[in-house]
Amino acid sequence: MLLVVEQSLNGLQFGLLLFLLAAGLTLVFGIMDLVNLAHGSLYMMGAYFAATFVAWSGNFIIGILLALGATLLLGIVLEFVALRHLYGRDHLDHVLATFGLILFFNDMVRLIWGPAGLALPLPSWLTVPVQIVPGVFYPAYRLAIIAVALAVALMLYILVMRTRIGMLIRAGASNREMIGALGINIKLLYTLVFGLGAALAGLAGLMQAPILTVQIGMGENILILAFVIIVIGGIGSIRGAFVAAILVGMIDTLGRAFLPDFLRHILSSAAASTAAPALSSMLIYLLMAIVLVARPEGLFPANRR
């Protein structure tokens, strides 16, 4: 029972983290129609910036705020230099160009920070276990991730649904020519949206950094998960991304935690120990395949035209 609570919280935390990554991806995808494989690189850069700035400033909060700013800036520069020239091009061009960017970022990180991973140590006030219900302790840092991610999700919702900028973003998603004709600076809007997505990816990366090590290629596996999420949720739909992210986070975490035991009940233990790791890694892809076969446009198809 204790384990179930703990693993469910882990799943929620992982799902929320995935949401931060997927939200940026789905915004860029839904509004600029850009397939950005390099989104995972921004996630990685967020983690590297955080490790560097925290070590440099000696303060965790200042370090991660600096890292967040740096990722935002990097995103804007990236959009300005390279990606804005790809809008309106074929999706395949996006895949090729941003695949090149992944290669570039991985080697640049190797050049600057070296091939070995970095660690991002937590300050002592975040390492204490917190008693959430009597008898159940949970790491404070993971609770902090849940709180921050929920707050960001709420802010994102308010930004997109309740502000003028958000209105323009939604308008740009449904008809870019029209909003341009109405005198909105669409280029600036796109740059802002991309920067926002980059900052969200960086935030996900730097929050994940203390739990895992900061290393090259850390963005690639999780990028695929983020893509799975936006495809399940329906491309361009933030609400869909939220639901799908929680779903994927839960299924992935709970699958890894409980599938081996479950399989041991129905299979011989040798067969179970062989099948369980592969099957639990496959679960979310299976989920995606089922969703796509049943609903080829995802759970919450956005901006139907």
Q: Considering only residues 14, 49, 138, 227, which one is a binding residue for other proteins as defined by CB under 8 A?
A: 227
Residue of 85, 127, 181, 212 that binds other proteins (CB under 8 A): 85
Structure-block tokens of residue 260? 């081996």
Nearer Cβ to other proteins (35/207): 35
Residue 286 interacts with other proteins (CB under 8 A)?
A: yes
Whose tokens are 């067969």? That residue is: 271
Q: Identify which of residues 88 and 121 has a Cβ nearer to other proteins in the complex.
A: 88
Residue ranges in 147-166 that form contacts with other proteins under rule CB under 8 A: none
The yes or no reply on residue 271 touching other proteins (CB under 8 A) is no
> Contacting other proteins (CB under 8 A), which of 88, 121, 123, 277?
277
* Binder among 27, 45, 67, 101 for other proteins (CB under 8 A): 101
48 counts as binding other proteins under rule CB under 8 A: no
List 106, 174, 213, 303, residue binding other proteins (CB under 8 A): 106
Q: How far apart are CA 276 and CA 250, in angstroms?
A: 17
Show Cβ contacts of residue 128 under 8 Å, excluding neighbours closer than 6 positions: 140
Question: Which residue of 198, 288, 300, 302 would you call a contact of other proteins, by CB under 8 A?
Answer: 288
Which C-beta is closer to other proteins: that of 1 or that of 293?
A: 293
Asked if residue 274 binds other proteins (CB under 8 A), the reply is yes
Residue 59: HSE in the Cβ half-sphere, 13 Å Cα cutoff: 5
Nearer to other proteins, 6 or 33 (CB): 33
Identified binder of other proteins from the candidate list 70, 86, 247, 272, rule CB under 8 A: 86
* Interacting residues with other proteins (CB under 8 A): 29, 35, 37, 82, 85-86, 89, 91-93, 95-97, 99-108, 110-111, 220, 224, 227-228, 231, 235, 274-275, 277-279, 281-282, 285-286, 288-289, 292-293, 296-298
